[in-house]
Amino acid sequence: MPRPMKLDHAPRLRRPAVLVLAALVGFSLAAVTAVAVAKSFTLRVAKNVHVTNTPTKAFRVRAVDVHEAVAVGPAGFPVYTFQGETTHHLICMKTSKASTNCWAFWPPVSVKSGKGLSAQTGIKGKLGTFHNHGTLQLTLGGKPLYYFTPDIKSGNKRMAIGDELKTFGSIWHIVTASKSGSAQNQPANTGTQPTNPNPYGMGY
């Protein structure tokens, strides 16, 4: 079983782990063009998505291989939360180093505005926003939302491979939903800049 990643002064990946995950990611900005920010944003329910972390088993804390309904962004890619993270306690950090730049692997779900946000029935939690490294990031139930770059690069919207992975010091969880799905508007909580946006002192 692979050794868990350690969190020191900054969340770091072991070099072999970086190479494996980098191969999946490709470190390409083009990978996130499919999730470009739109004027309005609806978090939708995608049914019968194959959620499996077999392709990323070097990082998983437990095996996952199920078909279920999950929350997806407007482009159809699944969204995730980071265990233990809130808008006032950020763990996934944007840095200039590949070994510590969580955003290269887990880009935030960003929006143009805190207005016009909606979620389909079956997605639990209130939508909100907060400012993070110059990005207006979406939250669900107070938890920041992220995409997984390998999901986006694969182009396969019917498969998600980022659930139950331990990287950058904590564990990632896909946002599940019930299978019902008519859109409904939800009032958004517009947050402010976190009180401690950079606990690791990296100058971002």
The SS3 assignment for 134 reads coil
Which residue ranges make up each domain of the chain? Answer: 15-26+41-178
pLDDT tens for residues 85-128? 999 999 999 999 988 999 999 999 999 999 999 999 999 999 99
**Which pair of tokens denotes residue 1?**
């079983």
Average pLDDT, the chain: 80
Is 50 exceeded by the pLDDT of residue 191?
Answer: no
pLDDT tens for residues 31-53? 454 455 556 799 999 999 999 99
Rounded Cα–Cα distance for residues 168 and 185 (Å): 33
The torsion angles phi and psi of 148, rounded to 5 degrees, stand at -115, 120
Structure confidence at residue 180 (pLDDT): 58
Rounded to two decimals, what is the model's pTM?
A: 0.76
The H-or-E segment that residue 17 falls in is helix 15-25
Q: 165 versus 4: which is more confidently predicted?
A: 165
Structure confidence at residue 49 (pLDDT): 98
Number of H helices, E strands in the chain: 2, 12
Least-confidence region, from 91-100, 152-161, 184-193, 194-203: 194-203
pLDDT tens for residues 147-176? 999 999 999 999 999 999 999 999 999 999
**Which pair of tokens denotes residue 4?**
């868990």
Which residues make Cβ contacts (< 8 Å) with residue 52, sequence separation at least 6? 64, 65, 66, 159, 160, 161
Average pLDDT over residues 119-143: 96
Rounded Cα–Cα distance for residues 2 and 175 (Å): 25
